[in-house]
């Protein structure tokens, strides 16, 4: 049997799959269309670029993202290892210096003797074994080929990015470093609002001029329904849900009082470092569809950001994914062509870590290393969700969360304790499975 795979897409899932297969002795042809053809969100021509936040979410085992990371570690995930080498301080979360991370992944790919990198857009599905890992911004021509092969069982929707500002433009007389309830290192900066400031900010968000989604539609997708990526809802959309929605959600002030002050802020916007040198900060939760001049005006209403210098404005982008349960075999290959596998966001997982995880999973399935995973595991359940026909009509992308795990001990009432027990159960079952397999 020829041990060769074409991988289309040099993003998070494609690079993970390539490194995995190479390690297992497979030859890989990896195709990346950038810089010849750009996507609406990528800024560089580097492989494995993170297009939005630099956070790969929590390490804590009582979070879905944290448990998934712990499982991926046991399964030998390559990009997680590289991310840890290039992390920046973010409390109990894993955030990376996006440039160092992407450069390191690319370097590993270029140095790997089993992997050949081609900078070209693939428009037709190649002959032979193939992984399509072209992500939520898959080029239109390839999407058209997939539509031809799969029929109309694919969907698409839109997504929003948060702005990034220059650290030097922050007023540190007002903005202070602190983590919620002083847990861990004070990696986040906080912009505290009085009630009047908050109400003025919410009103400005509601009145701000927005991009019309229509501008971003193209001919190919005009007929298809779209909706927002649920975990990245624009801040102005959240503001529409009620005057207090933001301060009970992304702007909640609890445990974020200014050091040495008893005054409770009415609401808080947090800023997260974009790199180790902390030269730039991301406005957490401020992903937006507002027009650029409006972003400059409205985000400068945030106390301490009156003179904010925007390094990157927020924006919206197309997001594509397939109707996985209707088109996939249990091994994540296509029913229409079992030589072709799908990985990453295109398969219907949601998030950086989930995309990486699916690239790893597909590679290990192809190489025969994994045939099944214990049902107690987060990755096992993500896999199941992709192939099990959902009860509701429309399949929605899935991310790592405790809701997809089989129930635990019902007598345990404390939520955190319950989750920690579920995480322990998952990791124990995965360890046993790996020991037995070896």
Ligand X SMILES: Cc1cc2nc3c(=O)[nH]c(=O)nc-3n(C[C@H](O)[C@H](O)[C@H](O)COP(=O)(O)OP(=O)(O)OC[C@H]3O[C@@H](n4cnc5c(N)ncnc54)[C@H](O)[C@@H]3O)c2cc1C
Q: Which residues bind ligand X (CB under 6 A)?
A: 8-14, 31-34, 39, 41-42, 51-53, 121-122, 133-139, 142, 159, 161, 232, 317, 319, 344-346, 351-352, 355
- Comparison of 30 and 305: residue with beta carbon closer to ligand X: 30
Q: How far is the CB of 354 from ligand X (least distance, A)?
A: 7
Give me the least distance between CB of 278 and ligand X, in Å please: 19
Supply the minimum distance, in Å, between the C-beta of residue 252 and ligand X: 20
Helix count and strand count (H, E) for the chain: 12, 17
Please, what sign has the CA dihedral across residues 428, 429, 432, 433? negative
Ranked by CB distance to ligand X, the top (closest) residue is 11
- Which is nearer to ligand X, 135 or 304 (by Cβ)? 135
Least Cβ distance, residue 409 to ligand X (angstroms): 30
Q: With contact defined as beta carbons under 8 Å apart, do 231 and 400 qualify?
A: no
Q: How far apart are CA 138 and CA 202, in angstroms?
A: 35
Q: For residues 102 and 204, which CB has a smaller minimum distance to ligand X in the complex? A: 102
Whole-angstrom Cα distance, residue 189 to residue 7?
40
Report the residue number, 204 or 238, with the smaller CB distance to ligand X: 238
Query: Taking the complex as a whole, how short is the minimal distance between the CB of residue 248 and ligand X, in angstroms?
Result: 22
Least distance between ligand X and beta carbon 129 (Å): 17
Cβ partners under 8 Å of residue 158, min gap 6: 213, 216, 226, 227, 228, 229, 316, 317, 318, 319
CA dist 87 to 78, 79, 93, 190, 270, Å?
14, 12, 10, 21, 19
Other beta carbons within 10 angstroms of residue 212's beta carbon come to 9
Work out how close the CB of 392 gets to ligand X at its nearest, in angstroms, rounded to a whole number. Answer: 22
Which CB sits closer to ligand X, 51 or 250?
A: 51
Task: Record the tokens describing residue 118, joined without a space.
Answer: 């081609």
Q: How far is it, in rounded angstroms, from Cα 256 to Cα 276?
A: 23
* Beta carbon nearer to ligand X, 30 or 202: 30
| Distances in whole angstroms, Cα of residue 310 to Cα of each of 87, 165, 279, 280, 432 | 23, 4, 12, 9, 50
Phi/psi class of residue 285: alpha, beta or left (left: φ > 0; alpha: ψ in -120 to 50)?
left
Query: 66 vs 408, which CB is nearer to ligand X?
Result: 66
Output 11 or 234, the one with its CB closest to ligand X.
11
- By CB atoms closer than 10 A (0-12, 13-18, 19+), residue 153 is middle
The nearer residue to ligand X, 159 or 236, going by C-beta atoms, is 159
* Residue 191 · residue 308 · CB < 8 Å: no
Instruction: Give exposure, 175-206, as e/b (b: 16+ Cβ within 10 Å).
Output: bbebbbeeeeeebbbbbbbeeebbeebbebbe
Query: Could you tell me if 430 and 373 are in contact, meaning their C-beta atoms sit under 8 angstroms apart?
Result: yes
Shortest Å distance, C-beta 357 to ligand X: 10
- Nearest distance from residue 358's CB to ligand X, in Å? 8
């Amino acid at each position: 049997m020829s041990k060769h795979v074409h991988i289309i897409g040099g993003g998070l899932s494609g690079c993970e799959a390539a490194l995995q297969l190479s390690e297992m002795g497979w030859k890989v042809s990896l195709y990346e269309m950038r810089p010849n053809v750009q996507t609406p969100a990528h800024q560089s021509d580097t492989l494995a670029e993170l297009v939005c936040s630099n956070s790969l979410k929590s390490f804590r085992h009582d979070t879905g993202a944290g448990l998934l990371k712990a499982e991926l570690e046991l399964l030998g995930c390559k990009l997680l290892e590289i991310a840890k080498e290039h992390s920046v301080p973010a409390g109990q979360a894993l955030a990376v210096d996006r440039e160092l991370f992407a450069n390191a992944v690319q370097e590993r790919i270029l140095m790997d003797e089993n992997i050949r990198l081609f900078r070209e857009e693939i428009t037709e599905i190649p002959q032979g074994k193939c992984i399509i890992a072209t992500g939520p911004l898959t080029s239109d021509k390839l999407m058209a080929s997939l539509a031809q092969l799969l029929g109309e069982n694919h969907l698409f929707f839109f997504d929003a990015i948060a702005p990034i500002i220059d650290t030097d433009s922050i007023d540190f007389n007002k903005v202070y470093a602190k983590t919620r309830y002083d847990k861990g290192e004070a990696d986040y900066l906080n912009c505290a609002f009085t009630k009047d400031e908050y109400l003025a900010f919410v009103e400005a968000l509601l009145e701000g001029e927005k991009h019309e989604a229509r501008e971003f539609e193209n001919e190919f997708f005009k007929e298809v329904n779209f909706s927002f990526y649920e975990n990245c809802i624009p801040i102005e959309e959240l503001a529409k849900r009620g005057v207090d929605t933001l301060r009970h959600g992304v702007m909640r002030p609890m445990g974020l009082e200014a050091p040495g002050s008893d005054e409770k802020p009415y609401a808080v916007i947090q800023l997260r470092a974009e790199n180790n040198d902390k030269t730039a900060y991301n406005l957490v939760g401020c992903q937006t569809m507002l027009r650029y001049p409006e972003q400059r005006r409205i985000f400068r209403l945030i106390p301490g950001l009156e003179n904010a210098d925007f390094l990157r404005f927020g924006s919206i982008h197309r997001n594509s994914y397939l109707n996985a349960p209707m088109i996939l075999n249990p091994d994540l290959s296509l029913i229409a062509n079992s030589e072709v596998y799908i990985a990453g966001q295109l398969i219907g997982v949601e998030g950086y870590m989930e995309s990486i995880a699916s690239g790893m999973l597909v590679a290990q399935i192809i190489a025969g290393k994994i045939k099944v995973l214990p049902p107690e595991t987060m990755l096992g359940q993500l896999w199941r969700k992709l192939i099990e026909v959902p009860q509701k009509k429309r399949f929605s992308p899935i991310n790592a969360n405790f809701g997809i795990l089989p129930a635990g001990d019902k007598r345990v009432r404390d939520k955190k304790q319950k989750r920690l027990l579920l995480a322990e159960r998952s990791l124990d079952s995965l360890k046993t499975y790996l020991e037995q397999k070896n």
